[in-house]
Amino acid sequence: KLLYHLEKEEQMPDGMCIDAEGKLWVACIDGGRVIRIDPETGKRIQTVRLPTPRITSCCFGGKDYSEMYVTSAYDGLDETTLAKEPHAGEIFKVTGLGVKGIPQNFYAA
């Protein structure tokens, strides 16, 4: 079932996570953002823009899961592009989202 059709500037979906309200967060690789989607309505309800385009994944963490950690990539970028994208490959901490994540499931090995 199609949940959401990415806008052109959002580019391509990559890593995802769910928040405590059941909303889906999607890292948009080459889109420089993480978007929050309401799976009930299929609408984008929040956008977090980041200072580099190759956003690869997102997850909630911190003491009470109120922080979002976002990864980015630098692989495949040539020297000229890397000079223009100094934040490529960094990990970002996003606060003040107004929503918390949920603890991950642990499985016995």
Q: Point out the annotated binding site.
A: 14
Residue 78 appears among annotated catalytic residues = no
Point out the catalytic residue in the list 14, 38, 64, 75: 14
Three-state SS for the chain is CCCCCCCHHHCEEEEEEEECCCCEEEEEECCCEEEEEECCCCEEEEEEECCCCEEEEEEEECCCCCEEEEEECCCCCCHHHHHHCCCCCCEEEECCCCCCECCCCCCCC
Q: Point out the annotated binding site for a divalent metal cation.
A: 14
Residues with a catalytic annotation lie at 14
